[in-house]
Amino acid sequence: MRLQWLIGILMGLLILIAAPSLQAVDVQHVIVYREPGRFGGWPANHGMWSWGNEMLVGFSAGYFKDHGPNLHAIDHDLPEEHLLARSLDGGLTWNVENPAAQGALIPRGPSLHGTELPRVVDRPWTDCPGGIDFTHPDFAMTLRMTDTNAGPSRFYYSTDRGHHWRGPFNLPQFGQKGIAARTDYLINGPHDCMLFLTAAKANGREGRPLCARTTDGGKTWDFVGWIAPEPRDYAVMPSSVRLSETGLLSAIRYREGSRSWIDAYFSPDDGQTWSLRTTPVPDTGEGNPAAMLKLADGRICLTYGVRAKPFGMRAKLSRNEGRTWGGEIILRADGGGRDLGYPRSVQRPDGKIVTVYYFNDDPKQTRYIAATIWDPAAAD
């Protein structure tokens, strides 16, 4: 473990020498979930929530199988679980929970990376009766898809910090060929909540980001606006923050040909119209989504994985609502290969950020869920 830490420090120093615009910060890496022979992945799809120093994050847990350097190392013939990990001490230690024991958060659909769970019965999908209090102090919501192209999506919610979940509840298709829901939402009031989703394009392939809203506690959801034009390849996985009473900012994962990057789109009118504000990350290697977070001091924080050498996790900060961004912050540069990233981030009461993602030390070894605790006060 010490050798791995030293390698990470050396890699970071080499990057700084090669590109002085990059920044290094003090970091602490901890293990969230790591089991021999298993594949832990994709926290960005599931969500992360915090209540002070209590934190909860969702992730996928399959079984490891090496398919070569360009594919996810998950065994498609064995089941995938959707698990939760909880920390009560600000991200220093974590305990894993399996909500399937109560019939909740069951993987389902052709986008599963493994077979469906044996002997586990998913609750029937129903229409939400409405009346959800999104402002409940112990509220959490997670959105799930069945297919990245044309499948329906659903949501669950909890009012006891994720110990018990209600749902699954149907999400509408909004007149599109399919909705691929991952967890990105903003709460406006007791019964008022906005979702940021990905729809299938006109040709049925993924994807184009949109904004939707409920004002009756989840009973009905209305299309609000397209975040970005229909792309040639895909624009997916929005991560969004509120800047003002009507101002929104959303980070979008883009791919076109061999290029992958992150664009930030701005809406001045609560999601009805959007325009490109900037490209905070012009290159993410083979592609990775960003997690956007508004800090207590008003800065915007972006964390993301880089699927290019040196493989690792990075961050950027903006002091002017995403118009410009500071230098790239190295969280770690010791990844073993491209199968990593998909972060979620929250800020602790002491101001430090906890960024959770999936990672590997060696492409032929277990994929695991890790967290990096770092202080944005020391960064630009």
Compute the chain's Rg from CA coordinates.
19
* Residue 234 phi, psi (nearest 5): -150, 155
Q: How confident is the model at residue 19 (pLDDT cuts 50, 70, 90)?
A: very low
Q: What is the pLDDT of residue 16?
A: 45
Q: What is the pLDDT of residue 181?
A: 96
For residues 180 and 200, the answer to whether their CB atoms sit within 8 Å is yes
Average pLDDT over residues 103-132: 83
Q: Which of 23-27, 30-34, 158-162 has the least mean pLDDT? A: 23-27
> How far is Cα of residue 353 from the mean position of the Cα atoms in its chain?
15
The predicted-structure confidence for 158-167, as pLDDT tens digits, reads as follows 999 999 999 9
Q: Which two tokens stand for residue 359?
A: 């990672």
Q: Residue 51 burial by CB count (10 A; 0-12/13-18/19+): exposed, middle or buried?
A: middle
Q: Is the peptide bond before 175 cis (omega within 30 degrees of 0)?
A: no
Q: How confident is the model at residue 304 (pLDDT cuts 50, 70, 90)?
A: very high
For residues 290 and 283, the answer to whether their CB atoms sit within 8 Å is no
> How far is Cα of residue 267 from the mean position of the Cα atoms in its chain?
21
Q: How confident is the model at residue 114 (pLDDT cuts 50, 70, 90)?
A: confident
The predicted-structure confidence for 45-96, as pLDDT tens digits, reads as follows 999 999 999 999 999 999 999 888 778 889 988 889 999 999 999 999 999 9
Q: What is the pLDDT of residue 66?
A: 87
For residues 241 and 293, the answer to whether their CB atoms sit within 8 Å is yes
Residues 6+ apart with CB under 8 A from 338: 69, 70, 285, 286, 307, 308, 311, 363
3-state secondary structure the chain: CHHHHHHHHHHHHHHHHHCCCCEECCEEEEEEECCCCEEEECHHHHCEEEECCEEEEEEEEEEECCCCCCCCCECCCCECEEEEEEECCCCCCCEEECHHHHCCCCCCCCCCCCECCCCCCCCCCECCCCCCCCCCCCCEEEEEECCCCCCCEEEEEECCCCCCCEEEEECCCCCCCCEECCCCEEEEECCEEEEEEEEECCCCCEEEEEEEEECCCCCCCEEEEECCCCCCCEEEEEEEEECCCCCEEEEEEEEECCEEEEEEEEECCCCCCCEEEEEEECCCECCCCEEEEECCCCCEEEEEEEECCCCEEEEEEECCCCCCCCCCEEEECCCCCCCCEEEEEEECCCCCEEEEEEECCCCCCCEEEEEEEECHHHCC
Q: What is the pLDDT of residue 15?
A: 46
Q: Residue 129 burial by CB count (10 A; 0-12/13-18/19+): exposed, middle or buried?
A: exposed
Q: What is the pLDDT of residue 5?
A: 43
Q: How confident is the model at residue 380 (pLDDT cuts 50, 70, 90)?
A: low
Q: What is the pLDDT of residue 373?
A: 98
The predicted-structure confidence for 192-220, as pLDDT tens digits, reads as follows 999 999 999 999 999 999 999 999 999 99
Please provide the average confidence, as pLDDT, over all residues in the chain. Answer: 92
Q: What is the pLDDT of residue 118?
A: 67
With 0.85 as the threshold, say if the pTM is over it.
yes
